[in-house]
Amino acid sequence: MSERLQPGDVAPDFTLPDADGTDVSLSSHKGRKVIVYFYPAALTPGCTKQACDFTDNLDLLAGAGYDVIGISPDKPEKLAKFREKESLRVTLLADPEKTVTEAYGAYGEKKNYGKTYMGVIRSTIVVDEEGKVERALYNVRATGHVAKIIKDLGI
């Protein structure tokens, strides 16, 4: 199980392909705040709700100086389908090897209906302009999470 990030930690830099196969790096967002969220799978009900919530609030978040990046183990082709089907405007990145997901502590043991298994832990990390972790939220709920972040960040 990977170590969870704490406020003040340096956010691990990454470069991953987006839905179009174009590489996106955390370091290319330096000078802006970034909300990096990890979700288990594109085109599933909870993940769709969360991605749509971020898209619906993207203008508000961008106006407050935040970029939003969603990361899942899906391949770029599936992310492109997800983006088109749901008209998503957030940047979706593919992490099929789960290296970034693990580096952020968003992969580990989960329990569902009494079964224990390894999987992506729905998590949101807020990174400041300097690349440091401002907030690290793990085991978040798909529904209502974006509204809570906006409230907690005072936007």
Contacts for 53 with CB less than 8 Å, ≥ 6 apart? 145, 146, 147
**Which residue type occupies 15?**
T
User: Is 47 an annotated catalytic residue?
Assistant: yes
16-27 CB burial, b ≥16 within 10 A, e <16: bbbbeeeebebe
Torsion region of 153: left, alpha or beta (phi above 0 gives left; psi -120 to 50 gives alpha): alpha
Name the active-site residue from 5, 26, 36, 47: 47
- What is the C-alpha end-to-end distance of the chain, expressed in Å? 33
Catalytic positions: 47
